[in-house]
Amino acid sequence: MINRNLLIVLFCFIAACSAPKADSPEPVLPVPHERQLVWQDMEFYAFAHFNMNTFTNMEWGLGDEDPALFNPTEFDPAQWARICKAAGMKGIILTAKHHDGFCLWPTATTDHSVKNAAWKEGKGDIIREVSDAFRAEGLKFGVYLSPWDRNHPDYGKPEYIAVFREQLRELLTNYGDIFEVWFDGANGGTGYYGGANEERRVDKRNYYDWKTTYELIRELQPNAVIFGDAGPDVRWVGNEHGYAYETTWSNLMRDSIYGGMPEYAEKYSAGQENGTHWVPAEADVSIRPGWYYHPYEDHKVKSLPQLLDIYYRSIGRNSSLLLNFPIDKRGKIHENDEAQLMKLVDKIHEDFSSPLPLENARLSASSTHGQGFEVENTISGDDDLYWAAEDGTTNATIQIEFDEPVRFNRFLAQENIALGQRIKSFDLEIKTTNGGWQKLSSGTTVGYKRILRLPDTETTAVRLVITDAKASPTLQHLGFFLAPKVLLPPSITREKSGLLRLKAPEEGLELLYTLDGTDPKENGQVYTDAFTVLQPTEIQVLSRDKGTGETSEVAKKELQIARKNWKVLGDGENTDHLIDENPETNYFTETNAVSIDLGESYLLKGFTYYPMQNRYLSGLITNYAFYVSNNGSQWKKVSEGEFGNIVNSPIEQRVNFAPVEARYIQLRALDKMDENPASFAEIGVLVDNQ
Ligand code: FUL
């Protein structure tokens, strides 16, 4: 087939030889600096939280930790670099010093560093090894240096600023090129401070004299971008979930902001159309609940649908994505984190691997700036080419017509940000079968990159209608893709009443289930509405792509008897949380025991204890005794034992015992992880036909 657009490009090229290229459109201020353009193209890079907290199991150390505690057993920065490279990440930012003040390099500014660690008998340098390992893979290296230092005796006094700058000087002179310098907004509070053990508040606006520090960074690393709430080059997205906003401007009213200001997230983090400086957003998020490694979060690594959502809500919304790995005590990225990361990366590749062949489509624009700015530039793949509308226009329509109907569910657009962010709103329209136009979706800002997730759509023509812009719009790239569905099984939840619900990982999937132990691929019923399951039942479920017929793996869940008629004996607040089949709600008791009336007698053969799932755990039962009764007053012990490793791995515990007929159950804490009231997310029973 003749490639129509190739011909057009060829024709334009020949025409261009005779007609001069029009001058570029005037930039609309603010515009990015060269170092910001280079950074923006990185899109996806890693964060690593690794230092003292890794060994004390904390998120914020106090500053009084013994440096000897830092002692990774299998430190392997080459493993980090290999994983990041395989994931298509372009670099890493490492916590050279977190709030507790422990330095990962042998700094001359303090003894609170690797110099006094057990690791390599104080002869090691984590910054050296990580930066070398990343450069060896062709990846970039950046540093996080906490302004707040809960160890340093001078923190809060003017003397500390000189120390802080000297630390920066060391990091920015001894470790090659640094692509980003990251300053945290968390500043000031209680700490060790060289033994003073007091609270030190600072005037966040003036204490650090940031201007002088920025000058130092520019002098030592002119190509590095500086991150902070107020930039000056890259700004915080305002949350730690990894989400940018439907409307995300790279323009920022930078002079109204200072690092750590309380109203930043709500007022400034989405950027402003009339922002005075170019300070694009960076979305930071950890692959686990915590920034630092905690063994009890090994089972809480974000799922593929969660990670994918983060990707589309950050990179798909004019932001970069800084994804954190809590490096473990060995000094490695944990296997679970690597596995989830690779699921994400494979899925992203899959989502963008089937672009619509726009080179075979007819492209037209309602307006063009002139020779050299044709709409075909948006599909040329050449970053130096772009379409621009006529000067003075603030709206324009780009139409794309296909010979045959096409199917897609992703739309991607990129402005030529070197000329400033311009587009304020747009609609995406498709041609209907009767020749009319129908709005498929709409959006606001585009910026460096905007991706829309759409329902599966079939049409012969698409129109991008730019309805408003700050100045004549530009577009560098346009794309449409057909992303396969996330083919994961649905999630299964049940209420106390026995009402059961299935939830698909994304729209456009149908859910099939069986309740008789047979394969839902063969015998599955299509799920339409919640239904009630009262008796012990094995449910098997899968998701099926309505378009392709492809199915997910089958997920199985053993449902215990419904807790419809159960009653927790005795009073207390939130007793229902114990038996609501929702592990996110907890029940606490000082008495260290709970008794439940099951409403009728069952032949019991075991019980389950679901520990609390909160980020910070308390009162988990580590040793238990389990009793049964037929009248609620005389109890017989049927089991006693330990919930091994429950603190590190707080998953549901399941205990079997010799079958016994009973109506009442009691779980007693013989020992707990701490002195806090015993905590319970859920208690369940196993009955004999399971
Ligand atoms: C926060 C810090 O307080 C956290 O510990 C973490 O480093 C995160 C990236 O930034 O503000």
d(CA 65, CA 56): 8
| CB 247, CB 270: distance < 8 Å | yes
Distances (CA, A) of 71 to 36, 129, 199, 510: 37, 15, 29, 50
Residue nearest to atom 10 of ligand 1 (CA): 184
Tell me the CA–centroid distance for residue 240 and ligand 1, in Å. Answer: 9
| CB 502, CB 557: distance < 8 Å | no
pLDDT at 53: 97
Tell me the CA–centroid distance for residue 467 and ligand 1, in Å. Answer: 39
Buried b (16+ CB within 10 A) or exposed e, 678-688: bbbbbbbbbbe
pLDDT at 433: 93
To which residue do tokens 């096409």 refer? 406
| CB 413, CB 478: distance < 8 Å | yes
To which residue do tokens 């089991």 refer? 639
- For ligand 1, what atom is nearest to the CA of residue 184? 11
Alpha helices for 492-636 (secondary structure H): 520-523
Residue 375, sorted as left (phi over 0), alpha (psi -120 to 50) or beta, turns out to be alpha
Residue 55 in tokens: 């060994």
Distances (CA, A) of 202 to 187, 199, 214: 7, 10, 19
Classify 269 as helix, strand or coil.
coil
pLDDT at 186: 77
Strands (E), 219-333: 225-228, 234-236, 251-252, 277-278, 281-286, 319-326
Classify 11 as helix, strand or coil.
helix
Longest dimension (CA), the chain: 101
- For ligand 1, what atom is nearest to the CA of residue 95? 7
- For ligand 1, what atom is nearest to the CA of residue 185? 11
CA atoms within 13 Å, Cβ hemisphere of 36: 25
Counting Cβ atoms within 10 Å, is residue 14 exposed (0-12), middle (13-18) or buried (19+)? Answer: exposed
Residue 549, sorted as left (phi over 0), alpha (psi -120 to 50) or beta, turns out to be left
List, in order, residues 6 or more apart from 367 with CB less than 8 Å away.
389, 390, 393, 396, 472
Report CA Rg, the chain: 29
d(CA 172, CA 483): 42
List, in order, residues 6 or more apart from 288 with CB less than 8 Å away.
294, 297, 300, 301, 302, 326, 337
pLDDT at 1: 38
Residue 576 in tokens: 């229902």
Classify 450 as helix, strand or coil.
strand
| CB 68, CB 78: distance < 8 Å | no
Tell me the CA–centroid distance for residue 241 and ligand 1, in Å. Answer: 12
| CB 669, CB 593: distance < 8 Å | yes
| CB 623, CB 678: distance < 8 Å | no
d(CA 225, CA 218): 9
Residue nearest to atom 4 of ligand 1 (CA): 291
Residue 72 in tokens: 């990774």
Tell me the CA–centroid distance for residue 341 and ligand 1, in Å. Answer: 21
d(CA 80, CA 153): 34
Distances (CA, A) of 446 to 61, 233, 366, 413, 478: 40, 19, 19, 7, 11
Residue 282 in tokens: 């960076």
How far, rounded to the nearest angstrom, does the alpha carbon of residue 187 sit from its chain's CA centroid?
24
Domains along the chain with CATH numbers: 4-24+355-481 (2.60.120.260), 34-350 (3.20.20.80), 491-559 (2.60.40.10), 567-687 (2.60.120.260)
- Ligand 1: which of 47, 184, 321 to mutate, judged by most atoms within 8 Å of the beta carbon? 184
Consecutive H or E run containing 190? strand 189-191
Tell me the CA–centroid distance for residue 242 and ligand 1, in Å. Answer: 13
Q: Which residues of the chain have pLDDT under 70?
A: 1-19, 689-690
| CB 488, CB 304: distance < 8 Å | yes
Tell me the CA–centroid distance for residue 370 and ligand 1, in Å. Answer: 48
**What residues are in contact with ligand 1 under a 6 Å CB criterion?**
59-60, 184-186, 284, 291
Alpha helices for 515-662 (secondary structure H): 520-523
- For ligand 1, what atom is nearest to the CA of residue 292? 5
Signed CA dihedral, 552, 557, 563, 569: sign only:
negative
d(CA 190, CA 203): 15
d(CA 561, CA 598): 10
Tell me the CA–centroid distance for residue 618 and ligand 1, in Å. Answer: 23
d(CA 217, CA 221): 6
Residue nearest to atom 3 of ligand 1 (CA): 186
pLDDT at 2: 44
Nearest to 667 by CA among 690, 639, 688, 646: 639
Classify 360 as helix, strand or coil.
helix
Nearest to 105 by CA among 69, 145, 45: 145
d(CA 195, CA 155): 12
Residue nearest to atom 6 of ligand 1 (CA): 291
To which residue do tokens 């999630």 refer? 491
**What number of other Cβ atoms are within 10 A of residue 655's Cβ?**
18
**What number of other Cβ atoms are within 10 A of residue 500's Cβ?**
22
Q: What DSSP line would sit under 604-623, residue for residue?
A: EEEEEEE---SSS--S-EEE
**Cis, bond preceding 611 (omega within 30 deg of 0):** no
- For ligand 1, what atom is nearest to the CA of residue 284? 9
- For ligand 1, what atom is nearest to the CA of residue 49? 7
Counting Cβ atoms within 10 Å, is residue 663 exposed (0-12), middle (13-18) or buried (19+)? Answer: middle
Tell me the CA–centroid distance for residue 184 and ligand 1, in Å. Answer: 7
Tell me the CA–centroid distance for residue 637 and ligand 1, in Å. Answer: 47
pLDDT at 385: 97
Buried b (16+ CB within 10 A) or exposed e, 403-440: eeebebbbbbbbbbbbbbbbbbbbbbbbbeeeeebeeb
- For ligand 1, what atom is nearest to the CA of residue 60? 5
**What number of other Cβ atoms are within 10 A of residue 137's Cβ?**
16
